[in-house]
Amino acid sequence: MSKPIAFGLTALALLAASPALAQSSADFGFDPRGAELAPYLQCVPYAREVSGIRIYGDAHTWWQQAEGRYATGHAPKVGAVLAFRPHRSMQLGHVATVSRVVDGRRVLLDHANWSPIDGRRGQIERDVLAVDVSPANDWSAVRVWYHPLGGLGKTEWPVEGFIYSDRTRSAPVRVAQGPTRLKSSRQFLSAFNEFSN
């Protein structure tokens, strides 16, 4: 079998084996007209790079992999990775790094591949709001800023907790000024201020 045919069959087998990979051609770096697009960034390599936590594999495996290797807990700290459980269509979980602790129930996150921005998935968002909505204030459920809504998403996402790296530190509470990746907007600030009372 020739190399191009073998490569094509391997790519098709990967797509068939993983529904999460069965995306549009735009998700793989090409638009339908054949022009190359920016790379499609996943949450895992981005969180690993930002946090310094050296865990590999799907996001939903991070919490168990951290056991015995990294400290874990339910208190937000700058530099910690927030590990999301699989939920609904997010079957591989999600990981995001805490960029700021606003208060006991609000943090700002840096993460990739959460919101589609300008019609593209795999985008990086910095300093986006996440709010602890768990009844026990234990960070077991959060709502996260979602760009297409211009505010917090409506879904309550289940969370395992925080994975702390050597870079993780407690930080003084600071009021955020909006996402770095996206320009600050009145929508963002009003959603942020909604939880300041």
Residue 126 phi, psi dihedral angles, 5° rounding:
-120, 145
pLDDT at 99 over 60: yes
- CATH number for the domain harbouring residue 128: 3.90.1720.10
pLDDT at 123 over 80: yes
24 and 82 together in one domain: no
16 and 62 together in one domain: no
63 and 125 together in one domain: yes
* Per-residue model confidence (pLDDT) at position 195: 43
Residues present in the chain in total: 197
Instruction: Supply the range of the domain harboring residue 53.
Output: 40-193
Confidence of residue 37 (pLDDT cuts 50, 70, 90): low
168 and 90 together in one domain: yes
* Per-residue model confidence (pLDDT) at position 119: 87
Average pLDDT (3-20) is: 38
104 and 160 together in one domain: yes
pLDDT at 194 over 90: no
89 and 5 together in one domain: no
Instruction: Give CA–CA dist 80/77, Å, rounded.
Output: 6
Average pLDDT (91-109) is: 97
Give the DSSP letter of residue 169: B
Rounded alpha-carbon distances, angstroms, from residue 68 to 62, 72, 171: 12, 9, 25
Number of helices (H) and strands (E) in the chain: give both, helices first: 4, 8
Which residues, at least 6 apart from 90, have a Cβ–Cβ distance to it below 8 Å?
84, 157
112 and 133 together in one domain: yes
29 and 89 together in one domain: no
72 and 145 together in one domain: yes
Average pLDDT (9-38) is: 40
* Per-residue model confidence (pLDDT) at position 184: 39
Domain count, the chain: 2
Instruction: Give CA–CA dist 163/93, Å, rounded.
Output: 14
Residue position matching structure tokens 């050296």: 54
Provide the percentage of residues in the chain whose pLDDT is more than 70. Answer: 64
100 and 54 together in one domain: yes
Contact 57, 106 (CB under 8 A): no
**Digit-coded pLDDT (tens) for 52-92:** 999 999 999 999 999 999 999 999 999 999 999 999 989 99
Tell me the HSE value of 147 on the side-chain side, using a 13 A CA sphere.
23
* Per-residue model confidence (pLDDT) at position 35: 53
- pTM, two decimal places: 0.68
In degrees, rounded to 5, the angle at the alpha carbon of residue 190 between the alpha carbons of residues 187 and 195 is 135
**Candidate from 23-37, 40-54, 69-83, 141-155 with smallest mean pLDDT:** 23-37
Instruction: Give CA–CA dist 110/129, Å, rounded.
Output: 9
Instruction: Give CA–CA dist 174/120, Å, rounded.
Output: 31
